Amino acid sequence: MNSNFQERIVAIPQESPNGLTSNQIAERLGVTAGNISSRLSKLAAYGIIRKSCYSRGPRGNVYRALTDEQAASKSPTNLLSLADEVIE
């Protein structure tokens, strides 16, 4: 998967302030949740998006965009290099 796909994954939670499950994100991308679940987890681990658990199991996670304050604390250069690492 390429960086354009990565950018699309990151952009989708920004459209929904209440967050989305991996199933909802996958549906908007036209892929399966299994196809993007590890990528979402890595993006969350790197602090590019936020991951919250609302029920049991991997499909119970809700992914949210960072708030403006959280995003401001991240260096844009750092985020881009981290996103590139997730792709590999």
Q: Which class in CATH covers the domain with range 3-87?
A: mainly alpha
Task: With cut-offs at 50, 70 and 90, classify the pLDDT of residue 29.
Answer: very high
How far is CA 76 from each of CA 12, 48, 66, 81, rounded to the nearest angstrom?
18, 10, 13, 9
Which of 8-12, 21-25, 26-30, 52-56 has the least mean pLDDT?
52-56
**Domain chopping of the chain, boundaries:** 3-87
Q: Per the structure block, which two tokens stand in for 20?
A: 């989305």
Res 48: pLDDT: 87
Q: 């995003």: which residue's tokens?
A: 71
Task: With cut-offs at 50, 70 and 90, classify the pLDDT of residue 87.
Answer: low
Distance between CA atoms of residues 22 and 35, nearest Å: 10
Query: When comparing pLDDT for 72 and 44, which is higher?
Result: 44
How far is CA 47 from each of CA 11, 63, 69, 80, rounded to the nearest angstrom?
14, 11, 13, 12
Query: When comparing pLDDT for 83 and 37, which is higher?
Result: 37
Distance between CA atoms of residues 69 and 67, nearest Å: 5
